[in-house]
């Protein structure tokens, strides 16, 4: 199974254990909205919580190798906002160590 397949499954299933296994301890997530830097523990709690979250549409892998995963999707947020989102994930030793997003609001 590729990293992207394991990642998609863990994310969609809100699988806290799988997310913890896929994310390195030095992980940093840079949010496109604010530039805020989140840690592994921060993001695992957010992504595994039962609360409302965006719906991903047309998710696709643009590029993947052992060092990087680049994806694109359209996001429909609980607020009604919609964005086109590019995600770049840096990988090290099979684990996610850095993630940055870039988004374009859709009207």
For 27-46, write each residue's pLDDT tens digit.
Answer: 999 987 777 899 999 999 98
Instruction: Answer whether residue 50 shows pLDDT above 90.
Output: no
- Hey, what are 100's tokens? 């940055």
The pTM of the full predicted model, rounded to 2 decimals, is 0.88
Q: What is the pLDDT of residue 34?
A: 76
Buried (b) or exposed (e) across 49-64, using 16+ Cβ within 10 A? eeeeebeeeebeeeeb
Distance in angstroms (rounded) separating the CA atoms of residues 44 and 7: 12
14 is written with which tokens?
Answer: 């809100």
| Fold of the domain spanning 3-106 | Nuclear Transport Factor 2; Chain: A, (3.10.450)
| Sequence spans of domains, the chain | 3-106
Q: 14: exposed, middle or buried (C-beta count within 10 Å: 0-12, 13-18, 19+)? A: middle
């Amino acid at each position: 199974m590729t990293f992207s397949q394991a990642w998609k499954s863990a994310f969609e299933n809100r699988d806290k254990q799988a997310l913890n296994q896929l994310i390195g301890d030095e992980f940093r997530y840079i949010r496109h909205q604010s530039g805020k830097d989140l840690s592994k523990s921060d993001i695992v709690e957010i992504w595994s919580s039962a609360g409302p979250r965006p719906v991903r549409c047309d998710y696709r892998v643009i590029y993947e190798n052992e060092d990087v995963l680049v994806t694109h999707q359209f996001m429909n947020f609980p607020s009604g906002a919609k964005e086109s989102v590019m995600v770049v994930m840096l990988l090290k030793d099979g684990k996610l160590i850095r993630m940055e997003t870039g988004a374009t609001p859709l009207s």
